[in-house]
Amino acid sequence: MDKAKSMMDKNASSGPYHVNNGQSQRGFHGHVAVAANGSCSSSAPFGLNIGPNSSSFESIHHLHRGDDVECNGSPAKRCRLRRRTESIRRSRPPFPWFGMDIGGTLVKLVYFEPVDITAEEEQEEVENLKSIRRYLTSNVAYGKTGVRDVHLELRNLTICGRTGNLHFIRFPTQAMPRFIQMGHDKNFSSLHTTLCATGGGAYKFENEFRTMANLELLKLDELDCLIHGLLYVDRVGFNGHPECYYFQNPSDTQSCMKTPCTLDNPFPMLLVNIGSGVSILAVYSENNYKRVTGTSLGGGTFLGLCCLLTGCETFEEALEMASKGDSTNVDKLVKDIYGGDYERFGLQGSAVASSFGHMMSKEKRDSISKEDLARATLVTITNNIGSIARMCAVNEKIERVVFVGNFLRINTVSTKLLAYAMDFWSKGQLRALFLEHEGYFGAVGALLELLKAAEDP
Amino acid sequence: MAEGVRLDGTSGGHTMDKSITLPPDEIFRNLANAKRFAIDIGGSLTKLAYYSTVQHKVAKVRSFDHATKVSEASSDKLYEISVQEEVTPRLHFIKFENAYIETCLDFIKDHLVNTETKDIKATGGGAHKFKELIERKLGLKVDKEDEMTCLIKGCNFVLKNIPHEAFVYAKHADSEFRFQTTQPDIFPYLLVNIGSGVSIVKVESEDNFERIGGSSIGGGTFWGLGALLTKTKRFDELLQLASKGQHTSVDMLVKDIYGGSYASLGLTGDLIASSFGKSATADREFSKEDMSKSLLHMISNDIGQLACLYAKLHNLSRVYFGGFFIRGHPVTMHTITYSINFFTKGEVQALFLRHEGYLGAIGAFLKGAEKDNPNQYSWGENYAGSSGLMSVSPDMNPMQRARSGTFDMLEMDRLERQLVNLPLLLDPSSYVPDTVDLTEDALAREYWLYCFEEALDGVVKRAVASQPDTQEAAERAEKFSQKYRHKLQTLRHQPFAYGSLTVRSLLDTREHCLNEFNFPDPYSKIKQKENDGALKYYLKAVKALEQLDWKERQFALVRGLLAGNVFDWGAKAVSDVLESDPEFGFEEAKQQLEGIRTPCLWLSDLWCFLFQGPPHKCALFFVDNSGVDIILGVMPFVRELLFRGTEVVLASNSGPALNDVTNGELQILTERLAAMDPVIETGLRDERLTLVQSGSSSPCLDLSRLDKELAMVVRERQTDLVIIEGMGRAIHTNYYAMFSCESLKMAVIKNAWLADRLGGKLFSVVFKYEVPSEKPSQPSAALTRS
């Protein structure tokens, strides 16, 4: 069973992330990793938030403040490390640092805002770079549809030797042409930055970026990015709190409780990414995973059907309606057919026998509300994903199922339902885990690739 | 279309449900003796099942007692033919729309004579709703049975008893349906029942099954959501809409996200990334057709995916789909097939069932009939009384989907004998009896359908002539003619109606139709005459053979066998000759075969090679025609085998078919020969010559459905040589059959078209000797040309 547990280490959870002290600066994983490694010599000198642990990963993306720090390493070793640091500094990509995930419905953008800019740097900084920074950090909404998820901001993060805040921004994929136009208008190409992009849109819009904005995309695989980003954010934590959570007592609506936990020793895990569609991955290590299957019944299906059935226009609207509706007016339950439980097969009377099954009858169609329909759509899609995920977990012999993707944003109905479904149908064998930055891991992963490129020139 | 009986057409202008007059000749047959009723009431269709007995005539032969009746005029005949009444148990299954329940119940009430029935087994979602009506109308107590149990019982029953029950659906193939051969062991399998929800059941044995999973996204979801989205009320109409729609305008495809394919994952651009994904973003109206299609894909793919996950988890490769979502709808069969192919990369095939709609009713019936233990018998689909699979392609004929007012029927006869596989089949699970599948071979189908139509008048004539003392024989024969002609027409349009269409199934359907109209054995008199005639030459033939030296004798035996096999009333080329020249005899046949003198010489070399080694332990010989064939062709050869020390098991038909010798006739013939010939006599006495019945009443031969006793004898005698004689048994069927012992297939091709197809001429000879591969390979001669 899943070893995920709630945070126990108060020190670590409240520890600052940007302090350069080898002992106290670690993220909450550092603790464990140090103990395991027995030494922090490999990467601790750089005083980064996740330093000690990063040695266990082959790709070290997240480096490093340049300042020298105390270390037990020999002078020669220190020297080597310094040289390396220098080289990183030299090859560190120029600002701005973006990571972008262009999905079927939403574009997810992460932006690293450096807060350790020196006066010298400030002077050197070109005007449109400043204006980008100010525009992004001083607004929470961009145009009609762009949103910055302020509550998700990761503060005082040290990446690649720089300290800053990581901002999470999203806007509909439909607005992509306007976004590219903006890149042209702001003369983005003059900044000589590499725009790392993942998701299908990286391929679909590649040509438009090139011709309209004179920008060359670094296209990245979305599943690679997803996994790298997820593991990274989990490692650095959520401003001193765990990124990951689960539900205690998922089968009991009264005592069901969201509980933070860590993902330490995260492998193997079944990763269920619910965007417009759904991809299900079995992840055995950071770079060893396979896509087990996928389903086209995902967030796009929920929203698409809701729009058609209720006339709503946004995900928020659809969820709002769903929160007020009653799906049992729409769905046919086991008890509607058998009068109670179907004992021969151990099916509870309250189980859904046929989603939208009541809608076969005209009288019932005339008597339900839009809210009921929205709720039924949400429950149908969620249960189905749960069911497929559970079967995959059993087939792959993985007990920990991690659900991510923007379908779960502000969607406690679904997260609780998934938690319940995993627990109930597996008789407690499977545990559903969730992450606070639901849909942004691909974009984070893309950003990390930008910095990785800097690392090995 | 097909057998569906349109009620309103027979009701004298009335179209109101209440005033329907049911044509009793067609549906609810044999109600008078009916007992053990069962009913399965679904959402829109009712399936009624009952057991009844059918009185029909059978031809019997009885030996004359020559000692006492020697002076009578009939003494020149070997045996007498009598027609007796026999009672065969038959299962009737009728399917009709729920709207007709009341009318049907009234009809049953009025026609039911037998009153010992006290209750009726009921299953299906609607059983509860109609309980009171059934109890009031029929005065029977409604006894509810678990739906899933009935479904599984029914499924086991059809899989075991109906060859070609299961099929694979291939929309764009030459034949939409590819029927599966019956497996010796039907277990384990997965049944995915798609009703309003989905149940996934793993079946491990007759009584052991488990619901291992399911889904709430099923037929009800398609129907319910479809009704909401399109304001279309009926399920069939929704499917119609779906078949005309384009899902790509509603669904978000991989290429909508990627601009092309997602190559590193091998996801093609046309794959659906998000069902209904476009309706979330595009601000426009979507057509009903497109939304229905998208919905259909979404649900079919989802069910297919779950089914695959369960099949994989339980390591099952046979997955059957049923439920009202499937029920013969080509649209859903296609999308489910596609989904299964996609998710298993072709490793698992989606299987569908011809009688899927009847499973619940069959199962409920079996539950009620448990004390009769119906599972201890073998049953056979009666082609004459069954509607067959409806043509289902809406593109071909949209009206056929609207079944309003049509009745569909399935009748199954209890076979006298329990049927099993021939133990000598090399690989029973891959054995396919038929040589050519006419469902897939349009050219061959056209030819054979034409052939059978051409021959029909002759058959009618023969049938009438076989019952000279019966006045209404002509009338009955006319009815037979109509029925069979209608069947042929049906098969022309729906070759898949009864499973794979083959020469065998065409012949069997004809036999079933003849029996239906009480012509149990139209050739009885001809067989009798020919047997009598041939017997007169037997001693002469045997003596002539005895005078030859060994090698010459072998040559004569081959020639005799082949010449004998020319006497086949089933072949038009021959029956024309026999009809026009009553004096045509064995010698003439040999002359007819003169052209093949050279191949005969060559064959006899092979023959000598075959029979000069150590004798076989026991030869199993499937014989063909009566008269010259059996008496002057086969018997001398049997003699030769006995001489050599080989035991012989002669397998002949249990019931009549054309002029094939039946087991009953062969018993009498052999006794008569034994009286003349001490070799035969000793053989019989020492049980070195044994007669067994094949369990079949067909001019062809299905080695996977043979009499259980035959199988036992074959095993006991350690049979090491199988001989199959005649076109029906060795060419139309079993041409490619492989055995675990030596085998010999021989026939004279008495059909010019077939000869041409096989690369020979009329009256060419097929002589196929095969040795199983584990033994050193022997020369195998196939076709020789004349």
**Is residue A53 very low, low, confident or very high in pLDDT (cuts 50, 70, 90)?**
very low
Quote the pLDDT of residue B575: 65
B545-554, long-range: CB < 8 A, 24+ apart: B545/B636, B551/B604, B551/B608, B553/B640, B554/B604, B554/B607, B554/B608, B554/B611
Lowest mean pLDDT among A201-210, A443-452, B484-493, B762-771: B762-771
- Cβ separation B281–A174 shorter than 8 A: yes
Domain residues of chain B, as ranges? Answer: 24-64+79-146+360-414, 166-250+286-353, 435-515, 526-770
B344 touches chain A (CB under 8 A): no
Sequence-separated (6 or more) residues with CB below 8 Å from residue B399: B1
Higher local confidence (pLDDT), A258 or A187: A258
Nearest to B225 among A103, A353, A356 (CB): A356
**pLDDT the model gives residue A259:** 96
With 80 as the cut, is the pLDDT of residue A71 above it? no
Q: B217–A373: do the CB atoms touch at under 8 Å?
A: no
Contact A357 B229 (CB under 8 A): no
- Tell me which residues of chain A, numbers 224 to 263, contact chain B at a CB-CB cutoff of 8 Å: none
| Phi, psi (deg, nearest 5) at residue A36 | -70, -40
- At residue A399, φ and ψ (nearest 5 deg) are -100, -15
Q: Cβ–Cβ of A301/B277 closer than 8 Å?
A: yes
| CB-facing half-sphere around the CA of A321: CA atoms within 13 A | 25
Q: Which residue of B has its CA nearest to A219?
A: B258
Distance from the B285 Cα atom to the nearest Cα atom in chain A, whole angstroms? 9
Considering only CB atoms, A391 lies closest to which of B225, B259, B306, namely: B306
pLDDT of residue A13 exceeding 60: no
What's B667's DSSP letter? H
3-state helix, strand, coil in chain A (%, to 5): 45, 20, 35
Q: Which of A44-58, A122-136, B460-474, B534-548 has the lowest mean pLDDT?
A: A44-58
Cβ within 8 Å of B, A 175-234: 199-201, 203-206, 221, 223
What is the pLDDT averaged over residues A305-310?
A: 97
Residue A122 known to be catalytic: no
B287 touches chain A (CB under 8 A): no
Q: Other C-beta atoms within 10 Å of B611: how many?
A: 18
- What is the CATH code of the structural domain delimited by B166-250+286-353? 3.30.420.40
- Report the candidate in B158, B164, B159 with the shortest Cα–Cα distance to residue B177: B164
CA-based nearest residue to B379, from B392, B369, B389: B369
Q: Can you give the pLDDT at residue A79?
A: 61
**Interchain contact A271–B (C-beta under 8 A):** no
Convert B517-550 to b/e letters by CB count within 10 Å (16 or more is b): bbbbbbbbbbbbebbbebbebbeebbeebeeeee
Closest residue, chain B, to A281 (C-alpha): B265
CB contact under 8 A, A357 and B227: no
Is B279 touching A (CB cutoff 8 A)? Answer: yes
Please tell me the predicted confidence (pLDDT) of residue B112: 75
Which residues of B fall within a CB distance of 8 Å from A359? 220, 223-225, 227-228
Q: What is the pLDDT of residue B402?
A: 39
Residues whose CB falls within 8 Å of the CB of residue B9, separated by 6 or more in sequence, listed in order: none
Q: What are phi and psi of A402, to 5 degrees?
A: -105, 120
* Contact present, B723 and B743 (Cβ < 8 Å): yes
Q: Which of B257, B274, B278 sits opposite A204 (nearest CB)?
A: B257
DSSP state of B552: H
Whether A46 has its CB under 8 Å from any CB of chain B: the answer is no
Q: Is the pLDDT of residue A42 over 80?
A: no
What pTM, to 2 d.p., does this model score?
A: 0.84
Q: Which domains does chain A have, with CATH numbers?
A: 87-235+442-454 (3.30.420.510), 244-326+369-435 (3.30.420.40), 331-367 (no CATH)
Contact between B204 and B212 (Cβ < 8 Å): no
pLDDT digits (tens, 9 = 90+) for A288-305: 999 999 999 999 999 999
Task: Write down the ipTM of this complex.
Answer: 0.82
| Other Cβ atoms closer than 10 A to B35 | 17
Q: Is B196's Cβ below 8 Å from some Cβ in A?
A: yes
Would the CATH topology of B24-64+79-146+360-414 be identical to that of B166-250+286-353? yes
Predicted local distance difference test score (pLDDT) of residue A172: 95
CATH homologous superfamily of domain B526-770? Uncharacterised protein PF01937, DUF89, domain 3 (3.40.50.10880)
DSSP 8-state symbol, B67: T
What is the CATH number that goes with domain B24-64+79-146+360-414?
3.30.420
* Per-10-residue mean pLDDT, chain B, length 786: 34 36 65 86 87 84 62 62 86 88 86 76 87 90 92 94 91 82 88 94 94 95 97 92 95 94 89 95 89 97 96 94 89 94 93 93 91 82 84 42 60 89 92 90 92 93 89 93 93 88 94 91 89 89 90 85 76 66 66 58 67 88 94 94 95 93 95 94 96 94 95 96 94 94 89 81 81 57 39
Whether chain A has a CB inside 8 Å of the CB on B53: the answer is no
Across the interface, do A355 and B216 touch by the CB < 8 Å criterion? Answer: yes
Q: Which of B213, B277, B343 sits opposite A104 (nearest CB)?
A: B277
Q: How many CB atoms lie within 10 A of CB A363?
A: 7
pLDDT given at position A68: 40
* Residue of chain B with shortest Cα separation from A345: B211
DSSP line for A349-417: TTSEEETTGGGGSHHHHHH--HHHHHHHHHHHHHHHHHHHHHHHHHHHT--EEEEESGGGTT-HHHHHH
Which residue of the set A70, A120, A122, A222 is catalytic?
A: A222
Whether B549 contacts B557, CB under 8 Å:
no
Q: A79-83, A330-334, A392-396, B497-501: which has the minimum mean pLDDT?
A: A79-83
Confidence at residue A83, expressed as pLDDT on a 0 to 100 scale = 55
How many CB pairs below 8 Å do chains A and B form together?
Answer: 191
CATH T-level assignment (fold) for domain B435-515: AF1104-like (1.20.1700)
